Every structure is written in structure tokens, then in C-alpha cells.
Amino acid sequence: MKMKAIQLPRIAGLALLISGVPGAVAQPLSPDVAKFYTLVDNGGFEAGEALPTFWSAFPPRPEAWGSPRRDTTVFHSGHASGLLVSEAAHPSGRAGVQWNKYGIAVEGGATLIASFWVKSDHGPSGGAGVHTYDAQKNHLGFTPIRVPGDAAGWTYLQQEVPLPENAKTVGFPLYGRDEARTWFDDVALLGTPSTDAARGTPTLDGNLDDACWRPDRALTQFVLHTGAALPQTQPRAWLAYDNESLYVAFRCPHPLGATLKQAATKHDGDTWLDDSVEVFLDPWHKHRDYYQFCVNCLGVIRDAHGTATQWESGAQAKVQRAKTEWTVELAIPYAALGLTLDTGETWGINLVRNDRADGETSTWSLGGFHNPGRFGNVSLQPELTRFLRADLLSQLTTKERERTAVLKELEAGDLSPAELVEPSKLLAMARESSNQLRSLAQGTVAVPEIGWDGVRHSLADISKSITAARQTALSNMFRVGGAEGAGGFRVALAHSLQKIRRDGDVIDGVLSRRVRLTAARDETESFQLVVMPNGAPLTGVSVDAPPLKGAGGEVPIEWKRVEYVETAPPGYPTDYVGWWPDPLYPAGPFDVAATQRQPLWFTVSVPPEARPGVYRGEVVVRQAKQSVAVPVELTVRSFRLPRPGTLATAFGLYASVLTQWYHGNAPYQEVMTPMQYLPWCEFLGKYRLAPKNFAREFVNTTKNDDGTVTVDMSALQKLVTPLTLKYFAPYSFCMHRTPVGNALGTGEGRTSANDPDVAAATVKAYADEWRRQGFPGEAYLYGYDEPRREHYDFLRQAYSKIKAVAPEFPIMQTLGDPNPVELAGLVDIWCPLSSRLDTPFYTERLRAGDTLWTYTCCSPKHPYANFFIDRPAVEHRVLFWQTRQYGATGFLYWCVCYWDGPPNADSGEPHFPDVPLHWKDIGTYKSYKDNGDGWLLYPGPHFTPWPSVRLEVIRDGIEDYEYLVLLSRLVERAKALPADRRPAAELLAQAQELATVPAEVSRDMGNYTTDPRVIFARRQAVGDLIERLTNVVR
């Protein structure tokens, strides 16, 4: 625990900020710190007269409803502030009163930090935001920065703003509150620092007497990691390079007689707890992946790829000690860095000093701890040809596999010789280009005049040729009618991890004359057919999907029509903004516009009792007198996927939200019965999800004078036990939920929330009633949601008392904190934000015997996986592989049906599904600038749930998780067999390896595959081994 107590100060100040939570508040930024990084001038509004310099005002001239001005009578610091006066609500269709600055140059893919003080004379203050633009000045997105609703007086805000990779400039507006006066002061928008490395090869001895370590080349602008001040003793650092290694040197002053901490003596030990220096390195400058090197004052090195210390760099370090300083030289060889063709002349880097004598941690780039978006930049020009050749050879090998795979698909695709001509020609072009580049990769020819940039373009052309070959072949399959523009239509096959655009060709369809599926019993598999007109609109298209038939009987096929929602510019990278596929409409005749595509989603759900074997049938798509028949072949495996499963899937399904869409603001108990709520719970259960809150709905409570409650759960008798036994994994839902963390603030009316005795008495009332009703015992207590660190003392008191009255209900705690050491021993189920899942604290709690879950919501955003509509489907599925990778046994999601914002069924206005959804109108988008948060279900007519593409993919990810668990358990059972029945050691080793999550699927939470084929291939191999071992251990 001591380790965590020491580590905590260096990251606590930016913990919320790094999590990406809008409006997150960190320790106030010192103006002395801000000046090193800020991209805006005159952030204190000190320069100017009536109006400040640098800033633009809106309206540009005072108007009755709004008037910006510089104020020298009210300020947070200095002698002035920026005042926004609003006498009335701003006119409809116009922006509100604001300060702004546009055209600020930024580094695409990096992360900014917005920081400012704000106050208002009437309620909560205004806020700010960051608009992003590409080189053509196209708007890419907007990130809001909102003031907390309970803010009063001068309020400090600090928030990270991740930028899209193609961002070139940003706009930074500061908004006033309508009908109020709003002041801004000490405004900063922090970029990252840049430097260049000296060319040279120092003698690695710890003495900084080499030419490359000249005093005038030293980096001296280090700041405390919190941003609150400059360090008491300023370290100095240098960067140098040659064609073999990057070199880093530090000079670390300390008081005379100081005792340096030097506990770590072994490689990869906890060196960061000692007096030490750290280097974070992103050679590719993609702001996603990184290496960490930490050297203590003994010269002991800890190196890691991300947080994975099993990676070895071959780095070397030498240290010298003196009476008032210690110095270190670190050599980082390029050979282990995985340098690729994407490696350029600018690398991401951050430098850190851990000064245990003064109790300070200082950093060159603020916020750059394990956060490559906040790394600074270093320019260097080593000769990397041998490394780039190796990567080129690797990429060519991958391209050749892709080309060969398409060639094999063509050979098996039953195409006519005429249909094969053009695809074959394109594949031959790709092979010829690959062969030319292979000579370069093997070193038999020199780097061409086009340079490595030209090589990158040639690789891209090879990919285009392979894609075009597939696309051309697809265009000839399942076609009826005339040529393009002459009527008729085509059908393309697509897999379940494709999001098909509404217009344009399907470029990554399944190149096959039949759909081939493999599934276990009690498993569901999906595929898509895409209907594409041959230039003329289609009307009255129908689909026949009879059951598949085999020796074991029939397996049903169901289909739905994929429809589209219009996304809005998000606060994360996306392929495009516009119409994205997501809602799944019920089966029925449909029309297709001439220039559009219509995907159809098919699900094959294998009955639990189905016999293993092959089942066949066909799906027929008809329009007028034309039809296309697509054969479907299903192989049912010999094993059954357990239901209930092992993964606790706690997804919110709130009765009040359901009724708000269909019945307006009426209390849900007045318009809905438990039996009307039950089908929604069953609907989720069929997707292997549990409504985490369903045991809290329809509970009658009476508040007593002492603040406790009397509880009646009798209305849940027909919900809890029957659904749990049929669908829900253990601990998938809560017995009771305590208030959210924000309720623990001080203020009138909150005293009972802050009383540990009242909290324990309330939980006891729920627990007693739960026991009285005889409900299943495997439920959890939902702890105070996302508490802040200042709440921990109260939580320790409350949880200690709660455990005494309800010991059988584990306390589940959601957290964004990477190191909540104060709660260890009281929390039973740790549920960190997914971006925190791989941090050391939670790994240690898992080893200590605690249970680990994870969750997503409006965050984290890219590069972390989430459930957003406009991100690749593979991200939704890989989250469950990552859940298994880190030993988590539960996944929590706040709500599947938060249908706030657009007109609803009770509004009397046109509403979904009669009109499409525009995400700019959605409440969660307005708050967090993401598309899809809280919407995994859609509200169908007549109080009916409609699924989404994402929900289908989530189910598949959960089934992947269950495959991995099943194989792991089979391995353990096989190991326990007598020697004469035990499988061969080679088979067991293969099965054990397949039961893990490999690096090609997920290396860490921010680095995972984007290729669906990797998931499909691994899943197939896992299933094959399950069958082999199942036959052995029976």
C-alpha cells in the first residue's frame, strides 16, 4: 500500500482530466506554468483598453442583448478580466455573447488542455469549447467545457481536449450566460513543447561532459506534474541521437546532505518510487502507443511497452552521484522500438523527474504521464533504412497474404472466366508492385528517388488494387436484370462487423457464393445481405428466409432491415459525419432509392437442444419478377454455450425512461406494470445482457422521520427470480443503489446523504426485504457512483457500517480514479472506467482476491474502444476480449435507452421511427459530443424494443468472452484427468494459449486490432479446440 501512497500525488491532480470527463476539475494551473505551453495570448485580459488584445468579441459591437468588454474592477488575478454582459436571451439563430479566437494552429492527434477561471453574478457561469478544423477548414467536431451546476463565485475548470488526427486549427470560444454577467480570467489553451535532438554519440558513463550535452542545449522548463507551480529545484535534460540509439541525459539537483531513495535494485522493479527519471517515447508520433523508461539513482531500469513490462528494450543507463546532484545518461537502441514506415523525423516524447527528497514530480510536458496525446515533440534525423526495410518486408508479407486470400476466394467463388478477368488483372498488378518493393525491402536495390514517402504511396496503391479486385468480383455476384442503369439489382454478402454506408459500393464484402456460419448450441450468429439497385429505384422488395434444415431438424433465420441515423460532429476521430447504420427495423417489404444501398441483418439462433451437424437453406430477395437466391450453410458445433453465462453484464434499463418516451412525464408506476416491464428485461436477456437496475424498479418505499426507509419489494416476485434463473449471470444486477457521488457534496438538504448511519440503515432495510422475499443471493450493492477523492473518508465510514448489516452483498464501486488506495479492503467489486482497467492498482486488487469489472459511458473516447455509432464495429466487440484479457468478470453500462432530446411518442410531433433521428438533437450528444451513448435500444411502436447493430455486435463479443472462459475451464478439467486419459501436452499447451487474448487482438486498452478477420480467425480456432477437448473430458 505504501507504493500507491507514494505514486498517488503524481497523477491525482490530472486523474479526472485524463479520463476525458467533460468539465473535470483539476488543481488550478499556475500562470508561470501556463506560459510555457499556452496557445493563446492575453489570457488574463491585461492588455487592451475597452476590448482586450488578441481576443475577438461577439457581438463585435455592443447590442441590447450582449456586450463584451474588458473589466478592470473584477478579476481573479492581475488587474483585469474579460467580461461578457448579457441583458437578455440572445436572438434565436445567433450565437450567444462570447470571447473567441479561431485559426489557432495545432498538432493533429494531440491533446490540448483548456484551463480558465470563470464566475457569474447570476447562477452557474457560462462555459467554453474547442472547435476543430482540417486543412480545408472543414469543421471536424466540437468539445464542450461546461461549468458544474453548483458553481458559485470564481470557479476553476481544466479539461483535456483530444484532437482528431487531421486537425490543423482550432477555435476557442468562451461563452457568457444569458441574462447575466460572466467574467473570464487566466485563460489558457495548452499545447505541448517541442525541441530538437543533437546529433552525437556520448560516452555512456553518467558524466555530462560530451559535446551533445552543452549547457545551451538543455531543456530547463520543467513544471510540477499538477501544473500548480514550478519545481523547487529545476532539473535539466538533454536529447541526442545517432543512427543506433536515442540518448537522454538528466541533471537532478538536490539539497546538500539529502538522502536519495533507492529501494529498487532489480530490473523492472518499482524504480519510479525512488529518486528517478522517466522517459515516455512515441516514435511513430501517432499519439496512441508509447514506451516508458524509468531509471532510478542506482541506474536500475524499468522499461515497458505501454504498461507491459515483459517487453525488453536493451536500454542501458549510467549514473554519477555528487553531493548536490545526480546525473544519468540513458541509451535507448532503435532495434527494439518497432520502428515502421510511419516513423518520421518528429517523435513524441516526455521527460519526468521524481524528486523524493523534495517530494516533487516534475514534467517537461504537462499531462504527459502515460498519455501520448500530451507528449512533447522532438525532431531528429537518424538513418533508419534498415529498420524501415524490415517493416516494409513485414507489410509486403501482409499484403501478399491479403492478395492470396482474395485469389483463393475468387477461385472458390464460382465466378465465370469472364467475371474473373478484371479481378485477376488487378491482383496481378498488386503482385508486380509487391515484387518491385520486395527488392527494396531485401536490400538488393537502393532507396528510390521517390524516397520512403513514395514507398508508402506505393504500398497504398497495392492495397487499392486488392480492394478493387474484391469489389469488382462482388459486383458480378448475385446480380439480376441488366447492366448498370438498366434495372434489376445486385446482392452483396457482408459480415457482422461491417457498417455499410447508405451510398457507395460495398468494398469489403464476403467474396463467396454462399453464407457460411459456425455456431455452438444456444449461440446466435449474424450476417448481412446488401441490396443494391442497378441504377433505378427499387420498390416493394421482399425477403424469404425459411428455416435452415439438416439431419437434426430446423434452425430458424430472422431478419431485420438496417436503417440509418444522422450523426453530428463528435469529439473523437470518425470516418465521416452523416448517415450511419444502427437501428434494426422489423422485417417487411421495403424500397431502395436508385443511388442508395439497403443492408439487411440476418440472425441465426441455434436452439439449445439442436443436434450438431450441417444445416442448409437459402435466403431469397425478390423485387417485381426478379429474384436472387443466396445459399446459407450453418455448422452447429457439438458443445453448448452456457446460459446464464459467466460474465456479469450490468446494463441499465430504466422504467422511468421507457415511460417518458411513450407516456411523457407520468410516473412510471402509474402507466406501466411489472409485467409490461418484463418483456424489455427478457429482450435484453436474449442478448446476454442483464438490466442492472431491474430489481430496483416497482419497489415501494416509505421514508421515515429518521431518514431511513421502509421497503416493499413484493411487486418484483414475477421478475427477479424467474429472469435470473433463465438469463442472468451471477451478480449482474444490484439489490440497492446508493446515491451518485455528486450527492455527497455539502449543502442544504444533503445531510442524510452524508450520514454513514443513515446510509447503513437504508441498505439494511433493502437487504432485509430482499431476504424476506427470498430473492437470489447473488446480487451486489451499487456503491456511490463515480465519487470524488474528497468523498473517500465518508465512503470508508459508510462502507464499514454497510458491511456489518449486509455482509452477503458485495459492494460494487465505479471509479475514474486510477489509484483509489483508500478504499482497498472495503470495495469488493472494482469497476474502473475501461481506460483505467490496465493500471497497476486494479491488477493488484485482482491478485488480492477482489473482483474486477469495467465500464464505459460517454467516455473514454478514442483510442479506447466504446459503443459509439460512428466508430468501427470491431471496437464494440473487442471490448469484451479486453475484459477477459485483464481478468474482469463484469461489464457495466449506464443505460441502453436514454431517449432524451428528440420528439417522443407522447409529444404529438413526428417522431422515430416514422422520421429518422438526427443526433444533434440527442441529449447525450449535446452534453458530451458523442454519437450513440445511452442508445443501444430504439423505441419501436406499441411499447416494443427495437435492437441496434451495436447491440448485435455486443452480444457477439459476450459470446466471445464465454468461448474463452469455456476453453479455460476445459483445459483445467483436462489437466486433472488421469494420465491415461489426459490429452497430449502439445494439445493442452495449444488450448491454453488459445484461451488467452493475444497481442494481435489486444495489446492493451488503447491498442487493439481494427481487422475483423483477426477476431473471426481467433474465435474459430478457440471453438475448434473447445470441441476437441469437450470430446476428451466427457
Which contiguous run of DSSP H or E holds residue 962?
helix 949-975
Residue type, 409: E
Cα dist. 129→115, 126, 179 in Å? 11, 11, 20
d(CA 918, CA 576) in angstroms, rounded, equals 15
Structural Rg of the chain based on CA atoms = 30
pLDDT (0 to 100) of residue 756: 92
Q: How far apart are CA 67 and CA 86, in angstroms?
A: 6
pLDDT of residue 133: 96
Nearest to 867 by CA among 894, 885, 847, 849: 894
> Taking Cα atoms as reference points, which of 271, 264, 258 lies closest to residue 321?
258
pTM greater than the 0.95 cutoff: no
Instruction: State whether residue 405 is helix, strand or coil.
Output: helix
DSSP string, 699-723: -EEEE-TTS-EEEE-GGGTTTHHHH
Cβ-in-10-Å burial (0-12, 13-18, 19+) of 109 comes to buried
Establish whether domains 194-383 and 479-640 are of one fold: yes
Report yes or no: 691 and 733 within 8 Å, Cβ to Cβ: yes
Domain ranges of the chain: 2-190, 194-383, 386-475, 479-640, 650-948
Give the chain's residues under pLDDT 50.
1-25, 746-751
DSSP 920: G
Superfamily of domain 479-640: Immunoglobulins (2.60.40.10)
HSE-CB for 96 with a 13 A CA cutoff: 19
pLDDT value at position 972? 96
Task: Please state which CATH number belongs to domain 650-948.
Answer: 3.20.20
User: Within its chain, how far is the Cα of 100 from the centroid?
Assistant: 30
CATH topology of domain 2-190: Jelly Rolls (2.60.120)
| Helix spans in 976-1011 (H) | 985-994
Nearest Cα to 250, choosing from 369, 353, 357, 362? 353
Residues 6+ apart with CB under 8 A from 350: 278, 279, 280, 363, 364, 365, 368, 369, 374, 375, 376
CATH class of 194-383: mainly beta
Phi, psi of 225 (to 5 degrees): -60, -25
Q: What is the pLDDT of residue 15?
A: 30
CA torsion 656-657-663-664 (nearest 10°) is 100
* Closest of 392, 390, 388, 363 to residue 376, by C-alpha: 363
DSSP annotation of 983 reads P
Provide the 8-state DSSP code for 345: S
CB 223 within 8 A of CB 405: no
3-state secondary structure 433-488: HHHHHHHHHCCCCCCCCCHHHHHHHHHHHHHHHHHHHHHHHHHCCCEECCCCCCCC
Q: Both ends of the chain: CA-CA distance in Å?
A: 45
CA 511 to each of CA 405, 412, 469: distance values in angstroms, whole numbers, following the listed order = 10, 9, 10
Give the residue among 846, 744, 723, 732 at the shortest CA–CA distance from 778: 732
Using alpha carbons, select from 963, 955, 1029 the residue that is nearest to residue 996.
963
Question: By the 8 A CB rule, do 616 and 539 touch?
Answer: no
| 67 three-state secondary structure | strand
And the C-alpha cell for 388? 524501415
Who's near 914: CB < 8 A, 6+ residues apart? none
Q: Are strands 648-651 and 890-893 parallel, antiparallel or unpaired?
A: parallel
- Angle of CA points 792, 794, 795, to nearest 5°: 60
Backbone angle region of 557, left / alpha / beta, with phi > 0 → left and psi within -120 to 50 → alpha: beta
Collapsing DSSP to helix, strand or coil, 1004 comes out as strand
Q: Helix, strand, or coil here: 579? A: strand
CA dist list (Å): 877 to 1, 34, 623, 885, 950: 35, 40, 34, 13, 9
- Predicted local distance difference test score (pLDDT) of residue 752: 52
CA angle (432, 433, 434) in 5-degree steps: 90
H or E element: which one contains 636?
A: strand 626-640
pLDDT at 411: 86
Cα distance between residue 1022 and residue 170, in whole Å: 47
Task: Report the distance separating Cα 277 and Cα 237, nearest Å.
Answer: 10
What's the chain's length in residues? 1034
Instruction: Write a three-state SS string for 197-221.
Output: CEECCCCCCCCCCCHHHCHHHCECC
For the record, the C-alpha cell of 184 comes out as: 473570464
What does 752-798 look like in DSSP terms, one character per residue?
TTT-HHHHHHHHHHHHHHHHHHT--S--EEE-SBS--GGGHHHHHHH
- Whether the CA torsion 730, 736, 739, 744 is positive or negative: it is negative
Q: CA-CA distance, 362 to 351, in Å (whole number)?
A: 9
Give the Cα separation of 247 and 331 in Å (integer): 5
CB 28 within 8 A of CB 171: no
Looking at residue 464, its amino acid is K
